[in-house]
Amino acid sequence: MRRATWRRIVPVLLITLAAGAQAQRPGDPGRWDYQNSCASCHGARGRGDGPLLRHLVTPPSDLSMLAQRNGGVFPRERLVMLIDGRAAADIGPHGSREMPVWGSTYVERFTQAGGSPPLAEGAAHRRILDLVDHLERLQR
């Protein structure tokens, strides 16, 4: 993504994240994380129509069609890798990495919130699994 584009997106993203951080973390953490970290680009129902759409060079994927586009099978393992992003130097549409690398973001957030570093990997992974569960519920 071009630098200028990021300069426009980052402030919007920070405001979105700050607003999210104040919200209560309810019983459905995958949904909560999705609404706070993903919906701004991918849309509340995952249809690729979030409010940041017009600032992006590549349109965010329609996350409600993941199973349909994969022959009716929800591609769970691949999504965990894609969302984590750290191993995905060049996998599929994320090769360009227009979207944030959530694996490192969640590890950092965990330790910044006072979590013990040896537990950070597990916590980040758990969060990504919860997100993928939520994505599965968005399929149509």
Nearer to ligand HEC, 49 or 98 (CB): 98
Tokens linked to 93 = 């549409």
Q: How far is the CB of 115 from ligand HEC (least distance, A)?
A: 18
Measure the CA–CA gap between 99 and 41, rounded to whole angstroms. Answer: 9
Nearer to ligand HEC, 92 or 122 (CB): 92
Nearest distance, CB of residue 13 and ligand HEC, angstroms: 6
Task: Count CB atoms within 10 A of the CB of residue 5.
Answer: 13
Minimum separation from the CB atom of position 37 to ligand HEC (A)? 4
Per CB under 6 A, residues contacting ligand HEC are 9, 37-38, 40-42, 52, 56, 58, 60-61, 63, 79, 82-83, 92-94, 96-100, 102, 131
Match 């013990």 to its residue by tokens.
Answer: 116
22/31 Cα distance (integer angstroms)? 15
